A = this chain, B = another copy of it.
């Protein structure tokens, strides 16, 4: 059986943006059945969970005896796995789909993470106000290149692939903050990806878990405090 570790619940402000969604989406496209393993935020820092995910993050994945973390690696594992309903490599082979999965994760997402850091967590801090124009410039620099690459394509490779899953999942956050306004190709591409039934079903499934497990206000505060990054 395939097993996917997910959050039992996350704060409202970030709901719908946890990376197990990428894996749910690929599993739905492939038609693979799987079991979810909901984890409380406090469980992620335990030695048992660290054996699955050394950085204490979601998602972690199990395929029989194989344990895997990193959404990009899990997606590429699923793209190479026999028995899928559609070819999730994009019909150009595993090296080419790896290229675009890595491009999404290393050439686009780091700049999007910096956008979230400012807009979601530090919007009103003095350093954030000073840095915002430079952050926006770096992000636009990459979006502009991606816009040019895409042209009128509706998929990054010949056919829909796990690279589209990760790229669309990254871009929907970017769109929320208005950064796709200048890029009609990116808007059209994103809309086509998110129109797939497998995305909608996966999004609904993620949100349903959070709704089911919504804690009391007091418990919410406790979990958010426990989740803050501390290096020492």
- Residues of A bordering B, CB below 8 Å: 50, 54-57, 66, 68-70, 72-73, 76-77, 80, 93-96, 98-99, 101-103, 105-107, 109-110, 113-114, 125-128, 130-131, 137-138, 140-146, 148-149, 229-232
Contacts and interface: CB of A to CB of B under 8 A. Distances in A.
A149 B50 CA distance: 8
A130 to B, nearest CB: 4
A142 B229 CA distance: 10
A79 to B, nearest CB: 10
A173 B102 CA distance: 21
Of A93, A106, A125, A149, most B-chain CB atoms within 10 Å: A106
Number of chain copies forming the complex: 2
Contact of A70 (B106, B128, B130): B106
A138 B229 contact: yes
A73 B102 contact: yes
Given A54-B103, A110-B113, A143-B231, 19 more contacts: A57-B107, A66-B95, A68-B99, A70-B99, A70-B107, A72-B98, A73-B99, A73-B101, A73-B102, A102-B102, A105-B106, A106-B109, A106-B110, A109-B110, A114-B114, A126-B127, A127-B128, A127-B131, A131-B131
A130 B140 CA distance: 24
A102 B66 contact: no
B99 A141 contact: no
Q: Which 7 A-B pairs have the closest CB atoms?
A: A140-B231, A127-B130, A110-B110, A54-B149, A73-B99, A70-B102, A72-B102
